[in-house]
Amino acid sequence: MNAEIKSHKDLIVWQKSLDLVECVYRLTEQFPQREIYALSSQMRRAAVSISSNIAEGRSRGTRKDFAHFLHMAFGSASELETQLLIASRLKYGKSHDVDESSLLLLEVSKMLRAMIYKLEARS
Protein backbone atom coordinates (compact mmCIF):
# COMPACT_ATOMS: atom_id res chain seq x y z
CA MET A 1 0.00 0.00 0.00
CA ASN A 2 1.03 3.56 -0.57
CA ALA A 3 3.18 5.03 2.23
CA GLU A 4 1.34 8.34 1.93
CA ILE A 5 -1.95 6.72 2.91
CA LYS A 6 -2.23 6.83 6.68
CA SER A 7 -5.92 6.00 7.03
CA HIS A 8 -9.05 5.29 5.07
CA LYS A 9 -9.69 9.04 4.97
CA ASP A 10 -6.76 9.41 2.57
CA LEU A 11 -8.29 7.01 0.04
CA ILE A 12 -9.99 8.72 -2.89
CA VAL A 13 -12.43 5.81 -3.18
CA TRP A 14 -13.55 6.40 0.41
CA GLN A 15 -13.93 10.14 -0.20
CA LYS A 16 -15.99 9.51 -3.33
CA SER A 17 -18.08 6.94 -1.50
CA LEU A 18 -19.03 9.67 1.00
CA ASP A 19 -20.05 11.88 -1.93
CA LEU A 20 -22.19 8.96 -3.08
CA VAL A 21 -23.86 8.73 0.34
CA GLU A 22 -24.79 12.42 0.10
CA CYS A 23 -26.20 11.94 -3.43
CA VAL A 24 -28.26 8.94 -2.36
CA TYR A 25 -29.64 10.77 0.67
CA ARG A 26 -30.61 13.76 -1.49
CA LEU A 27 -32.22 11.45 -4.03
CA THR A 28 -34.19 9.40 -1.52
CA GLU A 29 -35.56 12.54 0.13
CA GLN A 30 -37.59 12.91 -3.08
CA PHE A 31 -39.17 9.46 -2.80
CA PRO A 32 -42.82 9.00 -1.79
CA GLN A 33 -43.34 8.93 1.98
CA ARG A 34 -44.52 5.31 1.78
CA GLU A 35 -40.98 4.30 0.73
CA ILE A 36 -39.24 5.70 3.82
CA TYR A 37 -38.91 2.25 5.43
CA ALA A 38 -38.61 0.35 2.17
CA LEU A 39 -36.53 1.24 -0.90
CA SER A 40 -35.32 4.55 0.53
CA SER A 41 -33.98 2.91 3.67
CA GLN A 42 -32.33 0.06 1.75
CA MET A 43 -30.58 2.46 -0.62
CA ARG A 44 -29.26 4.56 2.24
CA ARG A 45 -27.95 1.50 4.08
CA ALA A 46 -26.25 0.15 0.94
CA ALA A 47 -24.56 3.50 0.25
CA VAL A 48 -23.37 3.83 3.86
CA SER A 49 -22.16 0.22 3.77
CA ILE A 50 -19.78 0.97 0.90
CA SER A 51 -17.84 3.66 2.76
CA SER A 52 -18.06 1.78 6.07
CA ASN A 53 -16.57 -1.40 4.61
CA ILE A 54 -13.74 0.54 2.96
CA ALA A 55 -12.93 2.15 6.33
CA GLU A 56 -13.14 -1.08 8.29
CA GLY A 57 -11.09 -3.04 5.79
CA ARG A 58 -8.35 -0.40 5.67
CA SER A 59 -8.08 -0.45 9.46
CA ARG A 60 -7.65 -4.23 9.65
CA GLY A 61 -3.98 -4.12 8.74
CA THR A 62 -3.61 -7.00 6.28
CA ARG A 63 -4.05 -7.08 2.53
CA LYS A 64 -6.25 -10.16 2.78
CA ASP A 65 -8.62 -8.48 5.25
CA PHE A 66 -8.64 -5.26 3.25
CA ALA A 67 -9.48 -7.15 0.05
CA HIS A 68 -12.25 -9.04 1.88
CA PHE A 69 -13.89 -5.80 3.03
CA LEU A 70 -13.47 -4.25 -0.40
CA HIS A 71 -15.37 -7.24 -1.79
CA MET A 72 -18.13 -6.52 0.71
CA ALA A 73 -18.14 -2.85 -0.33
CA PHE A 74 -18.37 -3.96 -3.97
CA GLY A 75 -21.31 -6.20 -3.08
CA SER A 76 -23.08 -3.23 -1.48
CA ALA A 77 -22.32 -1.22 -4.62
CA SER A 78 -24.00 -3.91 -6.73
CA GLU A 79 -26.99 -3.85 -4.39
CA LEU A 80 -27.22 -0.06 -4.72
CA GLU A 81 -26.95 -0.32 -8.51
CA THR A 82 -30.00 -2.57 -8.56
CA GLN A 83 -31.90 -0.26 -6.24
CA LEU A 84 -31.10 2.78 -8.39
CA LEU A 85 -32.48 0.92 -11.42
CA ILE A 86 -35.65 0.13 -9.47
CA ALA A 87 -36.00 3.78 -8.42
CA SER A 88 -35.53 4.84 -12.03
CA ARG A 89 -38.15 2.37 -13.32
CA LEU A 90 -40.62 3.51 -10.67
CA LYS A 91 -39.86 7.14 -11.57
CA TYR A 92 -38.85 7.95 -7.98
CA GLY A 93 -36.78 11.13 -7.75
CA LYS A 94 -35.58 13.41 -10.49
CA SER A 95 -33.90 11.54 -13.34
CA HIS A 96 -30.92 13.91 -13.10
CA ASP A 97 -30.37 12.90 -9.47
CA VAL A 98 -30.68 9.19 -10.28
CA ASP A 99 -28.16 9.64 -13.10
CA GLU A 100 -25.76 11.57 -10.84
CA SER A 101 -25.88 8.83 -8.21
CA SER A 102 -25.46 6.13 -10.87
CA LEU A 103 -22.41 7.79 -12.40
CA LEU A 104 -20.75 8.28 -9.03
CA LEU A 105 -21.55 4.68 -8.12
CA LEU A 106 -19.97 3.50 -11.37
CA GLU A 107 -16.81 5.45 -10.58
CA VAL A 108 -16.62 4.06 -7.03
CA SER A 109 -17.27 0.51 -8.30
CA LYS A 110 -14.46 0.75 -10.84
CA MET A 111 -12.08 2.00 -8.17
CA LEU A 112 -13.07 -0.82 -5.83
CA ARG A 113 -12.59 -3.42 -8.56
CA ALA A 114 -9.12 -2.03 -9.37
CA MET A 115 -8.10 -2.00 -5.71
CA ILE A 116 -9.30 -5.56 -5.20
CA TYR A 117 -7.37 -6.70 -8.27
CA LYS A 118 -4.15 -5.03 -7.08
CA LEU A 119 -4.45 -6.37 -3.55
CA GLU A 120 -5.17 -9.91 -4.71
CA ALA A 121 -2.48 -9.87 -7.39
CA ARG A 122 0.15 -9.13 -4.75
CA SER A 123 -0.94 -11.91 -2.41
For residue range 61-113, list pLDDT tens digits in order: 799 999 999 999 999 999 999 999 999 999 999 999 999 999 999 999 999 99
Q: Tell me, which fold does domain 20-121 have in CATH?
A: de novo design (two linked rop proteins) (1.20.1440)
Q: Using one digit for the tens of pLDDT, what is the confidence trace for 10-64?
A: 999 999 999 999 999 999 999 999 999 999 999 999 999 999 999 999 998 799 9
pTM: 0.92
**Distance from C-alpha of 112 to C-alpha of 77, rounded to nearest angstrom:** 9
Would you list the DSSP string of the chain? --TT--SGGG-HHHHHHHHHHHHHHHHHTTS-GGGTTTHHHHHHHHHHHHHHHHHHHHHH-SHHHHHHHHHHHHHHHHHHHHHHHHHHHTT-S-HHHHHHHHHHHHHHHHHHHHHHHHHHH--
